[in-house]
Structures are given as C-alpha cells and as structure tokens.
Structure 1
Amino acid sequence: MTSSPNDPGPPVRGLTYTMATILSVVTILLGYAVLDVADAAPGVLTLTAPPPPAPTETPGTRTLPVVAQPTPSTSVGEPLPPLAGDAEAPTAEGVTRALRPVVALPALTDSALVVRDGQSGEVLFDADGSELRIPASTTKLLSAAAVGQAFAPDATLQTVVQRGAGSDEIVLVAGGDSLIDPGKGDPEAVAGRAGLADLSDQVAAVLEKAGQRSVTLRVDESYAYGPGVAPTWDASFRPSGITGAVAMLGLSSQRATGGRVGPADPVAAVRDLFSRQLERRGIDVRLAPRGTPSVATPTAPASSSTPSATASPGTPAPTPATAPTPAPTAGPGSVLGRIVSAPVRDQLALALTDSDNALTEILARQASFRSGGGTTFADTGAWVVSQVAALGIDTTGVVLRDASGLSRENRVRADLLTRILVLGYDGKHAVLRRALDGLPIGGLTGTLDDRFTGADSDAAGRARAKTGTLTGANALAGSVVDDDGRLLVFAGMVAGAGTTEARAALDRFVATLAACGCR
C-alpha cells in the first residue's frame, strides 16, 4: 500500500506526540520551579521557611510566663540593690517637660494622668489625678489589693465530696475553685491544677470499698453564694463571652476568655460531668434537686487558709501541697474525696494577665464572704473599697458596683491607682505583689501583646499594665522601667475618645516615660 502525501506515517506521528509530551512536562516543571523559588509553592527551592503550625490550646496548661530565676552564682551580690539609685530618680520638672507634647494630643483632652516614682512613691506628674472617673478593668487592681488582705500568701481552695445525711447521699461541696480541669489535674498549672477526674477516682474507690454502687448526688452551694451576673452589667456581656457567670465551682475548659462563651450555670456543668464520670466508674448516680441555699454564717472550706487575726499580711499559713486520698469512712460529713486548687495569688495573677472578669469576681466575692461581707456584686464592690481604705489609701468618693470593672457606675481616681501600684511593688503585701506579676507585658503577653509597637516600642518588654476598656472610657495603669533603670508607676484614664485613639495616646504616654530618664 502506498502512503498519502499528507500522511507522514506511524513513526513520524509517534515522534511528534513524544516531543509534545516532553515539552509539556518541561513547561510544567519550569513553571513549578518558578513558583517554588517565589515561595508560592512548597519545594526544595523554596527560599522562605514554611510557616509554623497553627497554635493549639490545651485546657489546664500554665498560662503565666515561665522565667528561670537567677541563682546567687549568676546574680549580683546579695542583698540585691534597688533597680536604680537615688541619683537616678527622675524629677517632676523633667517628667512634665517630656510629657508636654503627649498631653496635648487630642485624644487626651478629657483625661486624668498620674506618674509616681515606683521606689519613693513621690508624685512626678499629676493632671487631674484626683477626678473620679470610670476605671473599667483597672478596677481589678483594687480587687487584687483587697483579696490580698483576706487570703494568706499560700492559701488554696478545695473542692470536696462528702457523705450526706442519707445513707446513699453524697455531697459535692463548691469551695470557690472555678478552674478545675475536667480530666486529670496538672500540678504545674494555674488553670487546671485540680482535676475532676482525680476527684471521681477518689470517690469511686471509697464507694466501691464500702460496697456501695448507687448514690444520690447533691451540690452544696452555700459557700459565698450569690448572683451569677450583676444588674449594672450590659445584658450582652455574658452571652457574648465578655464575662462568665460568677459561681463557686467551674471548669477551666469553660472559662469565658477571648470571646469564648461560658455556661450559664457553671455549677450544673461540673455536677453533670462529675456524675457521668462516676457512672463510667461503675457507680449509679441520681441527681438531687437544687435549691437556693440559705447562707447565715461565713464559713470557708477547711483546707483553705486565711490570715489569722494576729498574723501580719505577709505571714504564710500552712496549706496542703497535695490532697491525700481519703480513707474509707462512714457517717454524714465524712470526706470521700478532695482536690486542691492553685494558690489564690496565682489565680489573681492569671485574672490580671487575661483580664478575666468572672475569675476576678469569684475571688473577690469569696474574700468578702470570708471577711464577713456580703456576696452581691454591690456588696463585694463596697468591701473592696473598705479593704483599700484599710491599707491607708484615701478612698473618698470611690464607688464600686462590682469587682471586675464591667459596671459603668464605678468611680475611681487615677492617683489612687498609682498608690496601689506603689504598695504592690514595695514587697510588703505578698498576694498583691504576686498578682502584679501577672500584669500583661507590653508587646508580649495578655491584653498588651499587640501594643507598644512601632513608634511606641520603647516600652515593649518594659511596661507592665492593666488595661481598661468600656465604650467611651479607656484606662491603663501599671509600671515601666525608664532608660535610667528607674521604676515608674502610672495611671491614665481617658473619656470622650474612640478606643483606638485613646489606646494610641496612652501607649505614647507610657513609651515617653520609658525613653525619658527625666532628670
């Protein structure tokens, strides 16, 4: 057969197809190589390291920064000297001169600003610091000072299960710990130090040894019982995750922080999970109905410690480091299981780091209760003011309707905030001092992790402060180490400016102090 002039024949056609395939593959490989070099696609030619994996969150892990402590062999001679000597102290004239362009910012038109020397307490700058203003979340500084008066430095909170009045009744006693891990406790954690699964293991073991396989579970909520939300709070605060419900029992995995919404009834959430855990351990559980507890006399869980009437505020009271497994016992009130929280001072530090409104209210309420005060939000706020006054600080005109700062009816002075900070840093109030360690660090942690950048970076890593934000009311109060190594404390309260503008102006205020060396 002869071929058509237009037919190249099988060998030529196969070669053509093969060449086309090779060219296509080469084109694809060259294109991918270009994308690879441009870091638009992964590969051996990529010039930029791949991004790190997305962060994960594990309930119950340590949330406070861990910093290795210096030892005598790596530190300067003891006793340690002050941050800076008296010769390095700034002057009021120097601070005023440095802050002059800052206080002229439009956002600070309606503001109260105070600066003190952190070592002497001397006022270095005061612009309307005696005016009563909405403190927002800087209220937590007052609450930390008050809670430190009611709890010993090493005080912890315990959650107990004991036998009830009936032979088949067991009682879960709420003891103020709202940071219980739903599983095993972590002895190194603040949120999650105590574990509900550990409590379930203890109780189930005692019941099984006694030959008891069926129980009725009741909850004792008489300790520091009070309302879950304040009447002066916006109705949207709890449903939107701005705060959780205030209760003396709760799970660390259900904290209302970062906009995460917590349960409307934290006590029921703990009770129901505890019931399910017992059932998985072979115990049949019936839930007793709940009622409003009658609270007549302030009492505290037995293992928690409070300062004695004769002890100084800095004297530690003994508390168990771990809860021993209880021996099998019988009779009403006998203990079947016990778990112990992280120290209150560490919980306070966590509350300041995360600006945790519910946790602050929970600690302040039980502190008021232990001291004989009331347990409504207004009662707790009034108790906080009384305890600040007991520290020798003038509280004339100060009003608190809560302990967290969510109430717009709160009124505090900037000069009062700086007085509390000076007291906290003098080392004589152990719980308050530890709480101040939890203040967010500029540019690094908590509510300051994205602030003090750019032109304000002089204060990054050097400023520790409590933020405060409500619509039309912004505040910042804390400390900063200036260029001469001197500790300064400050408070700024701003009204009538947008949140973005107010924050930027307050950051400039602190950054100016950091770079000042104002002598």
Structure 2
Amino acid sequence: MNEIAVETPENAFLPGGRRRHRKPRRNGTGTGLQRALVLAMAVPVASAALAGPNAFAAEKGVGATAKTDVPDPDDQRIAANLETRVHDTRLGSNVSGVVIDAESDTTIWGHNASTALMPASNAKLATSAAALTVLGPDHRFTTRVVYGNGTLTLVGGGDRTLTTADLTDLAKSAVAGLKAAGLTTVKVAVDDSLFPEPTLADGWNDGYYPDTVAPVRALVVDKHAVQDTSVDAGQAFANQLAAGGVTVTGDVTRATASPQDVPVARHKSAPLSEIVKSMLKHSDNNIAESLLRMTALGAGHPATFEGGTEVLRQVLSGVYGVSLDDFELHDGSGLSRKDRIPATTLAQILDLLTQPRYAHTLGSVLEGLPVSGEAGSTLGSEYGRFDGENSKCAVGKVRAKTGTLTGAIALSGLTQGKDGKWKVFSFIENGATADQNSTKDAMDDLAATVNGCYA
C-alpha cells in the first residue's frame, strides 16, 4: 500500500505543551536514556526493582477503576459513555480498555485494563519504542558488497527498505571496480548471517508466510514476499551486474563474507525515525521483525526473536518504567497468537509520547501513528475506518495504531478532547464473533467517545 500524504496543521499532534510543572521521571533523554539502558542490561533484576512497575502504575493511575481526585465533568461523561459502549455486542465480551488524562496521568476510565489479551499489531508500539531507544532515531542500516576469490558477496544489514534502485547503484559501483581491475566475469553470493535461525516465530500460523510476513532474514529487496528473500535479492543484484556488462557465472549461493574480502560498495538506509513512521502507518510486519532483530544486536544480544524480546522488555521496564505484568511477546510484529499485552501497558507506552523529554527519541512513533481517516494508512477510509454515523465526527482528530488478527482487534492511541485535554487510550478485544469490519466500527466509536465528539 503506497502512502498518500495528508496535510495537517503544524504541531497538530504535539501533546504535553502545558506540562512544565510535571514531576520528572527517573531518566532523561539522550545520554540519560543510554545510561539507563546500560544499567538495565547489566543488572536486569536490580533495574526492574528500581523501575518499580507496580509503583509506577500506581503513580500513573493506570488500570485503576476511578480517579483519585475530583472528576472533571467532561471526563465523567466520557467514562459513563464508555462504560455503556464497551458492552456493544460487536466487541464481544472479552475486552480490555483504559483511558488516561495525559496531563495529570490519572485514569479516566478502565475496563479489565490489566487483563492481558492478544494485541495483534499494537505490539509494534513496543517494538518501535525499543528500537528507537537502543539504536537511536538517526541510525541507518547498511547493505554492503565485498569481493574475494572471484565472488561478489551481497551482505545483508537488516534493511527491510532496500530497493532495486539501491541494488542498481551498488551494482554500478561493483561493475566499475571490476572493470578497473580488468575483470569481466564474477560469481555472486549472499551473506545473510546477521540474523540466525529460526526465521519463523513461535505462534505464527503457517498461512502467514510469506505473504503476511516473510521468514525473517537480513537481506530483502522491494519487500518481496518470498520464502528466501536473501537469494531473491542476490538474483536481482546479479541481474543488475549483467545489465552493466559483467558476466555472472553459476547460481547465486550463500556464503559468509571474509574479513579479507575487499569492500566494493555500500548503501545506507533512511534514518530509523523515517522507517518507524512508515512501518507504523502501514503496519509493516516485515520491517517490525527486522527492527526487533537489530534492536537485539544494538544491545549486544543475539539477533533472535528471544534476544529481541528480552531487550525490548529491559527497555520498557528498565528505561521507561512501563509495567510488564502479564506481558508476553514472541515477535516484533504482533502476529504471534501467543502474544499477550494488557491495555494498561500499551497506554503507558503511548503516554511516553506526550512527554517533551522523550520527543527526540520517540517522536517518530507519534508521527507514524495513522490519523483517523488518513488515506494510505491503516486508518484510511479505504479500510472503512471512521466512516460510521458515530465515528465520522472524529476524522482527523485521532492518532492510533490498529491491530487485526482473526479473533483479535485492537486500537490504541491518543486524541485531544473537546475540552482541550489530551487523552491516551487503548482498546483490545479477543474472540468477538461479529464481522471484523463491524468490530472495527465499534472500536472507532470508542475512540470518538474518548475524543468527545461522540457524546
């Protein structure tokens, strides 16, 4: 799906502007985040205790059933409406939901908020936050070409945005180097050893791959949905070499590049911040899985599903103090049917986006959240989102991550209510028997209720 840009007013979604007197969190931005992450990696048990997820949850009020101070009339109205609408038959009976006032960090409404449910693609919020924190928003992924023993080896660097045009540029540099050395014949190999097996996550259904998600490898071109993306990319590279006048002999094979191989060319991706925005807009499963692996590597862990999810947990809990009670994650995309995340946890992640101190690191998560009714995103009208009688009033007023699996629908984001206050929300349902589009419409109604336009 190609993204179609939608013009929005500058700073239309920059919550937290009135939070000058907010009590500081434990850790700051920039080097502070890095120091906290180092502590979390070095002493995971101690740092988890210092983070105090339960104390944090109490401070935030997340998961509680009521606010501790005098309720705002507008918030009371929202809570009352949600309490009625959460029982909509289209949502089924297994729903977890919470709404937070972003300025005061108090809970406006909660319904089974601490119940861990299958989050679907809402898991990408956790993946994005971890990747940006560990790697940094300016990080770029590098694809290399090296030469040795008559072979050009295309070395994957985890860039899921690599295109044929990028391979063409790499091939041009390689052809120029070969011809300068008087060589006109070469073999081609691919090195995708950056990501070890397994390539499929625990809890993925056989029907998911390669279309919904491809087996996770460190090399891919044009987001091709094939079983072996690495060899596919190598073949595309070989074709570009041939087009440049170099004869490629034999089939594309797998190899591990040698330290003695001569560097020939390299390509750097766009900054991670841009990749995250695109990944969230389109809910790209393949990019999410690559980011999880690269996050593991960035923290010095094996680039496996387990390595990535371990680092992700350490970041959320040790750096940001997010509650991981009953949190279970087996992949980066949320496709695993064994994943479980409470609405409480997703809301806490989103609440980080409302704090200016985290804007540099996590700002692209906020910018990447689809806007209600935004063409080309997963909340676009082409997907039937926010076009119902009750929800169309919220078009352009909600930023939220969608999530859809068989038996699981989720919507988590933030909106500025008619009272001018920013609200963070998360809704997850599992097991609804209604048509998925009807369930999504009911979710949109809940978001419009939080906005206040569906009163």
TM-score (norm 2): 0.79
For residue 234 of structure 2, the aligned residue among 260, 271, 274 is 271
Equivalent pair of 2:199/2:215 in contact (CA under 8 Å): yes
1:177 alignment partner, SS class: coil
Question: Is residue 2:89 matched to residue 1:152?
Answer: no
- The one-letter code matched in structure 2 to 1:224 is F
Q: Is the counterpart of residue 215 in structure 1 residue 152 in structure 2?
A: no
1:443-486 per-residue CA deviation (whole Å, 9 max, x = no partner) reads 12411112111321121111111111222221110111211332
Measured in 2, the distance between the counterparts of 1:383 and 1:431 equals 17
Q: Which residue of 1 aligns with 2:97?
A: 113
Give a deviation string over 1:292-329, Cα, whole Å, max 9, x none: 869xxxxxxxxxxxxxxxxxxxxxxxxxxxxxxxxxxx
The answer to whether the 8 Å contact 2:413/2:424 transfers is yes
TM-superposed CA distance for 1:361, in Å, is 0.4
- Work out the CA distance in 1 between the residues paired with 2:240 and 2:133: 37
TM-fit CA distance, 1:209: 1.4
**Equivalent residue, structure 2, for 1:243:** 213
Per the alignment, residue 19 of structure 1 pairs with none
- Asked whether the 8 Å contact 1:129–1:413 carries over to 2, the reply is yes
- Confirm or deny: 8 A CA contact 2:193 2:218 kept in the other structure: no
Select the residue among 411, 419, 425 that pairs with 1:476: 411
The DSSP-based 3-state class of the residue aligned with 1:467 is strand
Q: How does 1:489-500 map to 2 (within 5 A)?
A: 489-497=424-432, 498=434, 499-500=436-437
Q: TM-score, normalised by structure 1?
A: 0.70
What SS does the corresponding residue of 2:154 show, helix, strand or coil? strand
Cα pair distance change 1:461/1:85, threshold 3 Å: farther
The answer for the alignment partner of 2:444 in structure 1 is 507
State the partner residue of 1:63.
3
1:101 to 2:77 alignment: no
Letter in structure 1 aligned against 2:411: L
- The alpha carbon displacement at 1:132 in A equals 1.3
For 2:130 and 2:4, how far apart are their aligned partners in 1? 22
Cα contact 2:414–2:425 (8 A) shared by 1: yes
Distance 1:104 1:70 in 2: 37
Q: Which has the larger radius of gyration?
A: 1
Q: Aligned pair in 2 of structure 1 residues 68, 399: CA closer, same or farther (>3 Å)?
A: closer
Count of residue correspondences? 394
The answer to whether the 8 Å contact 1:131/1:413 transfers is: yes
Equivalent in the alignment of 1:228: 199
Letter in 2 for 1:104: H
CA distance in structure 2 between the partners assigned to 1:470 and 1:121 by the alignment: 30
Partner residue of 1:427?
Answer: 356
2:284 corresponds in structure 1 to 356
The whole-number CA distance in structure 2 between the counterparts of 1:81 and 1:379 is 37
Q: Which residue of 2 aligns with 1:312?
A: none
Percent identity, aligned pairs only, is 29
How far apart in 2 are the matches of 1:90 and 1:363? Answer: 43
Partner SS for 2:217 = coil
**One-letter code of the match for 1:149?**
T
* Matched AA of 1:407: S
| 2:299 maps to 1:366 | no
| 1:149–1:110 distance in 2 versus 1, CA, 3 Å | same
Distance 1:213 1:355, change over 3 A: same
Residue 247 of structure 1 aligns with an amino acid whose one-letter code is: R
Q: Identify which range, 404-413 or 216-225, moves more after superposition.
A: 216-225
Q: Which runs of 5+ in 2 are unaligned?
A: 23-70
Q: CA deviation at 1:381?
A: 2.7
Higher relative contact order (CA 8 A, sep 6+): 2
- The amino acid that maps onto 1:369 is L
Report the 3-state secondary structure (helix = DSSP H, G, I; strand = E; otherwise coil) of the residue aligned with 2:356. Answer: coil
Change (3 A) 1:90 1:228: farther
Question: What value does the CA root-mean-square deviation take over the aligned residues?
Answer: 3.0
SS at match of 2:201: coil
Report the Cα distance in structure 2 between the residues aligned to 1:104 and 1:517, rounded to whole angstroms.
16
CA distance in 2, matches of 1:116, 1:210: 64
8 Å CA contact 2:394–2:453 kept in 1: the answer is no
1:92 Cα deviation after fit: 4.7
**Aligned in 2, Cα 1:500/1:70: closer, same or farther, shift over 3 Å?**
closer
Whole-angstrom CA distance in 2 between matches of 1:68 and 1:474: 27
Per-residue displacement from partner, 1:354-389 (whole Å, max 9, x unpaired)?
Answer: 111111001111111221223333442333222211
Residue 386 of structure 2 corresponds to 452
Residues 1:442 and 2:405 aligned together: no
Partners of 2:179 and 2:103 in 1: CA distance? 59
Task: Go from structure 1 to structure 2 and tell me whether the alpha carbon gap of 1:371 and 1:219 turns closer, same or farther (over 3 Å shift).
Answer: same
Alpha-carbon distance in structure 1 between the residues aligned to 2:404 and 2:8: 33
